[in-house]
Structure 1
Amino acid sequence: MTRTTPTWDPAQYLRHAGHRSRPFTDLLARVPDLPSDPPRIADLGCGPGNVTALLADRWPAARITGYDTSPEMLDRAHVDHAGPTPGGGRLDFARADARTWTPAEPCDLIVSNATLQWVPGHTGRFGDWTDGLTPGGTLAFQVPGNFDAPSHVLMRELAASPRWRGRLDGVLRHADAVPPPRTYLERLTALGCTADVWETTYLHLLQGEDPVLDWVEGTGLRPVLTALADDPQARDAFVTEYRTALRTAYPAGPHGTPFPFRRIFAVAVKEV
């Protein structure tokens, strides 16, 4: 089966907005001052715009554009966040694909939050993006580094099982969707940037029934849900099998369900 573009559900994605936004705020904390005033900022993979709006808190006068491929996400972003910002800047949203997007004008910051794992060979795009930065500008991103975690391994194993491989072969990303942190460091420094690369494992304490399933239904499971959307019975059967496996891998504790989540961060500043 050819891998298809997932259909996204903004409401499902935002159910864990607090946990999902924390890596973005941690990323922004390491971004240095930007060279222009007001700065021009691009957010690749803006989703429903909730974290894009945080950019206006840090740079109130900035001209900010969030880019995404999902009509559903962009519609939600437009409704909730588009327009003038209190600091005199502006927040807009537009459709663009990170596989081909290049800046139409120089940017002071190109940022991406949990998006590049969906872009095969994304390290090959770094040159185009850094070329589009103003001198002293920054490329900053974070990606999940948990493709070897039970949540993803169990999903891939189930999709590859005899019952499902005919329907789901090639649908899911593989374990190498994100390279090691050292690869990011090497690629970014080779482009003449000063790079800061690190990783963090968050231990989220999730609440509710089957919260890990609820989490991945907003992100990693979307390709499966999209591929089986025309067959609700099959979709529900897959989710039932997967739910059972997740309950064993992530048992609930007395105060919630611990969900370790590793992420990789990079902040690269272009030489002046």
Structure 2
Amino acid sequence: MSAGWDPGHYTRYAAERDRPFAELMARVPELQPRRVVDLGCGPGHGVRWLADRWPGADVLGLDSSPEMVAAARDTAGAGSARAEVGDLVDWARGGPDEGEVDLLVTTATLQWVPGHLALLPDLVGRLRPGGVLAMTVPGNMGEPSHTLRRELAAQPRYAAHLAGVASPSAHDPADYLRVLSAAGCEVDAWETTYLHVLDPAGEDPDPVFTWVSATGARPTRQALPPGLREGFADELRAALRAAYPRTDAGVVLPFRRVFAVATRGSASG
């Protein structure tokens, strides 16, 4: 990804963003891992959790964003966990960091990798026999939070600036089950739709825009030149405000997440 990422903006809704990680890890089989890797570690909340859960393990967080890696290093503190800048695809296919992994975690990252179903066997190949790949991706690309951005970006005044800009894409649990099973894994796959109640205090007039502008909409906005960028943001704010009206509880953002936990068998890879 060429977009720069803002850890402070991303963690504005940290509790909602971290919840899928906790629920994913609750389904990981009992392990005593020696080596753990968090691919797309973001600001490092997962890295810290993994290091605290297995203090004797070598825990590595990898992310393509220098800003996120800097935040992850601060989050991890002075313990044994590390965070490094690196490319997920290069790592999956060997890269400079060789060796088998006991637990490979990736949360809200693979949706940014085009054709990532084809990458899953490579990720499984980095596991030792009996090792575990635990993954989750957003599954809400058909919701207004994404469709409105795509429709707006397709308008001629914006589209001329947006060729090749990263856009997230993911698959259904059955697709991950099929591919990971074919790679020689025992697979547990499922989905959950959260109802995130944003800004119950009414302090932010556009909380869904705040959410998406930290993630799915960020590369689109950054690719636009000044002037158009502000116009795009204003139009997207208005469209999201209409699609997600405020209720007595706050602004409700339905958010589907897709999960898979795959345990590599001795014959895979």
So what's the TM-score if we normalise by structure 2?
0.92
Match of 1:243 among 210, 225, 237: 237
Task: Give the deviation of 1:178 after TM superposition.
Answer: 1.0
Kindly report structure 1 stretches of 4+ aligned residues shifted beyond 3 Å.
Answer: none
Match of 1:43 among 24, 38, 63: 38
- Paired position in structure 1 for 2:192: 200
CA distance in 1, matches of 2:242, 2:47: 36
CA distance in 2, matches of 1:163, 1:20: 33
Structure 1 gaps of 5+ residues are: 85-89
Task: Give the deviation of 1:97 after TM superposition.
Answer: 1.0
2:181 corresponds to 1:185: no
Aligned with 1:99: secondary structure?
A: helix
Contact 2:38 2:105 in 1 (8 A): yes
2:71 corresponds to 1:76: yes
Structure 2 gaps of 5+ residues are: none
Task: Give the deviation of 1:35 after TM superposition.
Answer: 5.0
- Paired position in structure 2 for 1:220: 216
Contact 2:221 2:232 in 1 (8 A): no
Contact 1:8 1:218 in 2 (8 A): yes
CA distance in 2, matches of 1:187, 1:132: 16
2:200 corresponds to 1:209: no
Contact 2:177 2:189 in 1 (8 A): yes
CA distance in 2, matches of 1:225, 1:150: 17
Contact 2:112 2:166 in 1 (8 A): no
Aligned with 2:194: secondary structure?
A: strand
CA offset digits 1:201-255 (Å, max 9, x no partner) = 0000000321000001110011112202xx3322111000000000110001112
- Paired position in structure 2 for 1:87: none
So what's the TM-score if we normalise by structure 1?
0.91
- Paired position in structure 2 for 1:261: 255
- Paired position in structure 1 for 2:58: 63
Match of 2:127 among 129, 133, 153: 133
CA offset digits 1:166-211 (Å, max 9, x no partner) = 122342526xx21222111111011110000000000000003210
CA distance in 1, matches of 2:100, 2:58: 12
CA distance in 2, matches of 1:205, 1:172: 27
2:82 corresponds to 1:97: no
Of all paired residues, the percent bearing the same amino acid is 48
- Paired position in structure 2 for 1:157: 151
Task: Give the deviation of 1:125 after TM superposition.
Answer: 1.7
Aligned with 1:153: secondary structure?
A: helix
2:113 corresponds to 1:119: yes
Code of the aligned partner of 2:16 = H
Code of the aligned partner of 2:227 = Q
Code of the aligned partner of 2:75 = D
Aligned with 1:164: secondary structure?
A: helix
2:35 corresponds to 1:5: no
Q: CA RMSD in A?
A: 1.4
Higher deviation after alignment, 91-100 or 197-206: 91-100
Contact 2:6 2:68 in 1 (8 A): yes
CA distance in 2, matches of 1:128, 1:180: 20
Higher deviation after alignment, 48-57 or 66-75: 48-57
